[in-house]
Structure 1
Amino acid sequence: MLRLLAGEAARRFGARAAVESGTSRLSFADLDRLSDQVAAGLSHRGVRVGDVLALVLPDGPEFVVCYLAAAKIGAVTAGLDARHPARLALLSRLDPDLVVTAPRLLPSLPGRDVVTLPTTLPTTLPASPPTGPTELGDLPPASWLGALARNEPPPPPMPPDPGRPVVITHTSGRTGPPKAALFGDRQLEAIRAHGAGVRWGRGDARLLSHPMGHLAFATRLPLILQTGRTTYLLPSWDPESALRLACEKRLRVLQGTPAQLAAMLDLPGKPPSFELVLSTGGPAPPGLIRRLREHFGAPVCNRYLCTEAGLGLGTRPDDPPQDAELTVGRPRAGVDLSVRDSTGRPLPAGEEGEVLLRSQAVMSGYVGDGDPRVFARDGFVRTGDTGFLDDLGRLHLVGTQSRS
């Protein structure tokens, strides 16, 4: 699926930026072309269908090119945060067939097949860059993709297979060691269909608020390709740089975790205007939702899910303001929600119990260590969070252990 979407995105959006860091820029056309060359290179190195490719890279164009290249040959990408203190332990549990990294991010790994890219592209966002971003499509691939890229066609397309695994993303580890959740074509297709349907284009540019290996990017790449959404990156997230970039690029949607958005409220000066504020990565407290709405003068949506579920709940921009303040909204299209007691019995409105989610986007399972009891017998995912439904079908959370 990703191979077809990348080709169509290249045809439709061409020179539009797919990824921009402030000093480097990769268009949709170049993303498709370069990922073809890296797909050929990976195949030449012996990477086969079902092999695991671990990416221990800074967030940037290299990550997207390698992820898309792996998908084109049926390999499975596992993105590991280059700054995560447990990255070596996570790498050992995955036991990947190939590791792609950048200088000084990993120690020597005897016995592993490791490719270190020749350089890391500059990703510092200057206050007033004297020139525009470097067009990566104009650079020789060898200058930043090294021996991974081969100037030849990739292997022929594979037949469709909804069960083919595509990407591994890790839970946050707030309830124990991070777990590796596997998503395949079936799940990515459900996420794409939910977010874009049959339409192409009209994707609002966004500032990435999570590492690229996180669920928010790793499973949303099909949606990004179909909508032509530009993804803006920061070398490391801080509220001042994030808000400055949002102003420079005239972003219409501000997205971040509750903690990230709260940090923006304390910055001096007049706040910029947005059409929508999205709070993701965990439920936001009522006071924060009110402050965000008043500070930025825009509707605020409260989103909720766990990594294993793929899709979750959320309030909508046209909902009454108190919905986002008091609840995490209603299930999104195609998502089933259930609140159950300790025996698995569904509870009526007003009674507290464990929150469970089900959709076509639910992960295939864990890779390596992981509790299989996360799945109920009827396919629901146990989130570990506690809440209750009200008479309008909105979910109120009273205790969270979210793994997203």
Structure 2
Amino acid sequence: MLAPLDAGAFADTVELLEAAALVHGFRDAYVEADGTRISFADWVARARAVARQLSSHGVGRGDVVALMLPSGIDYAVCYAATAMLGAVTTGLNPRLGPREIDAALQQADPVLVVRAATMPATGRDIPELAASELTRELLRHAATPSRTIGRDAPVSIVFSSGTTGLPKGAWFDANNLAASAQAAGAMSAPYDRRLTSTPFAHVGYMSKLWDQLVWGITLVIAPVPWSAAAMFDVLRAERITVAGAVPTQWAKLLELPALTPQSLPHLRIGVVATAPASPALVRQTTERIGAPLVVRYAMTESPTICGTEPGDPPEVLYRTVGRPQTGVEVAITDAGGAALPAGQIGRVRIKSGCSMRGYWNDPELTAAAFDEQGYLISGDLGRFDAVGNLVLAGRSGDMYIRGGFNVHPVEVEQVLAEHPRVRAAAVVGLAAEVIGEIGVAFIVPEDPDAPISLAELRDWAKARLADYKAPDHLIVVGDLPRTAMSKLDRHRLRQLAADNPPPPRRKAP
């Protein structure tokens, strides 16, 4: 299916924005949860006006502008306006803590911070501009920079969620954004209406600007604070065709009795990303929404990697993250970089025009992120099945060794989550005498009044996995901790496991 605009035909983001305003014109570009909306033409017109304002504050080509704004029209206008000046946008997720925000600002070194009234001042010696000060006039004839920005100039910096330390800033140019648009596949169709649930500071928005522009996609922003009932109402009222949500949101949506295949007649695809989804969740959601729930595998440094597709057989949809997307190469290697055959677990490496150019202002970290062949070295472990689908096995740092055997938490979590009395599961390793490490399972029960026992959980796991992969300790929780980017917070889980160790075993008399 061809997009209304050809991503390969534009010299830079400015050209594409202007073309989108003409071609998509009156169509909705953004719809906020309260129904406030803006067309493509008005979005670009407002961005021109804001670009003039930013320029008057000293923002020029190559400068960084930090957005401390919630997801919405103001964020989108500022992002486009910054691109019109040849400047670079970095978004700071409102959920980040002061320490994380301070580290991101230090790395990005912005010349200006655009801040929502609800966000605290940065406390740094950086000029700040309140979003309310930005003009609301639709200056359709406001001047747009006449010089060509080019595709090689930086467009955005996206900070990781910092699960292994302070956030790192991956930067992208227009070539990256164009490659992501060209790799979209079945995810995009002309004039889709897409529900987005992740913050605009997330790579899922920042790297997909060209995708929206070439396809004429309407982005409908999920309500904040989020609730399943509010999401369901938006899906229906806005005639959503593609709905993106994190696993926990899909799980809560399934609790609504009103959710049936007939209740969402416009929905074409459901999408789950940012965190692994259990096979049971993918299957149940597909059945209830009346459309395939596809899985997308991506990361901050490489926002387009693999995905399942509508029409894939159940064993692919429910147990893999699919095949590499258009223009993406994925290799599974040992620690030294040698390729491994299908079926063997190794390090996931990615080579793609979508992958970041590097880490902002950190050449040493950038050099360490890529191998000699130009592959991005991820921290993920995985294997290919016999027909080329990628099966993830977790993060390299998440693996633990129990009695000399490697255990990959994701594999165990998927099995535990299939138990009918388990709503969600997570597993981490905990240091132990004699056998080195044990597996600690965190379980969110379907019925809080009747949680599953450790014995039942172990029996279930041992019937489906090697016995050493069965968890040794069980901690029942009301929910699993998440990072600011909605990823499972394994660092917090390890802390909880250490604070709640299993009782010492009694020695035999």
Q: Which TM-score bucket, shorter chain as reference?
A: 0.7 to 0.9
The answer on 1:104 being equivalent to 2:118 is yes
Flag structure 1 segments of 5+ consecutive residues without an equivalent: 120-140
Which of the residues 106, 114, 119 maps onto 2:128? 114
The question of whether the paired residues in 2 share the 8 Å contact of 1:53 and 1:98 is answered with yes
Which of the residues 335, 348, 351 maps onto 2:341? 348
Segment of structure 1 superposing worse, 64-73 or 288-297: 288-297
Which of the residues 196, 209, 231 maps onto 1:242? 231
SS in 2 for 1:311: strand
- 1:37-52 equivalences in 2 (<5 Å): 37-52=49-64
Q: Deviations over 1:282-339 (max 9, x none)?
A: 3311111111122222222111011112310011101112201111111001000100
Deviation of 1:163 after TM superposition, in Å, equals 1.7
TM-score by length of 2: 0.70
Segment of structure 1 superposing worse, 108-117 or 161-170: 108-117
Deviation of 1:246 after TM superposition, in Å, equals 0.4
Alpha-carbon distance change, 108 to 330 in structure 1, aligned in 2, over 3 angstroms: closer
The aligned amino acid for 1:395 is L
d(CA) in 2 for partners of 1:102 and 1:67? 14
State the match for 1:301 in structure 2.
294
d(CA) in 2 for partners of 1:313 and 1:98? 36
Deviation of 1:15 after TM superposition, in Å, equals 1.8
- 1:29-178 equivalences in 2 (<5 Å): 29-85=41-97, 86-107=100-121, 109=123, 111-118=125-132, 142=135, 144=136, 153-159=142-148, 161-178=150-167
The question of whether the paired residues in 2 share the 8 Å contact of 1:43 and 1:155 is answered with no
TM-score by length of 1: 0.87
Alpha-carbon distance change, 348 to 400 in structure 1, aligned in 2, over 3 angstroms: same
The question of whether the paired residues in 1 share the 8 Å contact of 2:251 and 2:281 is answered with yes
Alpha-carbon RMSD across the aligned residues, in angstroms, is 2.4
d(CA) in 1 for partners of 2:198 and 2:289? 21
State the match for 1:377 in structure 2.
372
d(CA) in 1 for partners of 2:19 and 2:108? 32
State the match for 2:205 in structure 1.
217
SS in 2 for 1:251: coil
d(CA) in 2 for partners of 1:299 and 1:34? 37
Q: Deviations over 1:259-284 (max 9, x none)?
A: 22112112233433333221111331
The answer on 1:390 being equivalent to 2:385 is yes
Could you say which structure has the larger radius of gyration? Answer: 2
- 1:195-344 equivalences in 2 (<5 Å): 195=184, 202-233=190-221, 234-271=223-260, 272-273=263-264, 274-344=267-337
The aligned amino acid for 1:397 is L
Segment of structure 1 superposing worse, 77-86 or 87-96: 87-96
The aligned amino acid for 1:117 is A
SS in 2 for 1:31: helix
State the match for 1:135 in structure 2.
none
Relative contact order (alpha carbons < 8 A, sep ≥ 6): 1 or 2 greater?
A: 1
Deviation of 1:210 after TM superposition, in Å, equals 0.6
d(CA) in 2 for partners of 1:29 and 1:57? 22
Alpha-carbon distance change, 65 to 337 in structure 1, aligned in 2, over 3 angstroms: same
State the match for 1:127 in structure 2.
none
Runs of 4+ in 1 over 4 A off after TM superposition: 149-152, 401-404
State the match for 1:134 in structure 2.
none
d(CA) in 2 for partners of 1:324 and 1:371? 35
SS in 2 for 1:118: helix
SS in 2 for 1:310: strand
The aligned amino acid for 2:385 is D
Q: Deviations over 1:200-222 (max 9, x none)?
A: 97131111111111111111111
d(CA) in 1 for partners of 2:285 and 2:189? 28
The aligned amino acid for 2:27 is R
Alpha-carbon distance change, 112 to 291 in structure 1, aligned in 2, over 3 angstroms: same
Aligned residues: 377
State the match for 1:7 in structure 2.
18
Segment of structure 1 superposing worse, 334-343 or 101-110: 101-110
d(CA) in 2 for partners of 1:87 and 1:240? 32
d(CA) in 1 for partners of 2:142 and 2:283? 53
State the match for 2:352 in structure 1.
359
Deviation of 1:151 after TM superposition, in Å, equals 8.5
Deviation of 1:108 after TM superposition, in Å, equals 5.7
Flag structure 2 segments of 5+ consecutive residues without an equivalent: 1-11, 399-484, 488-509
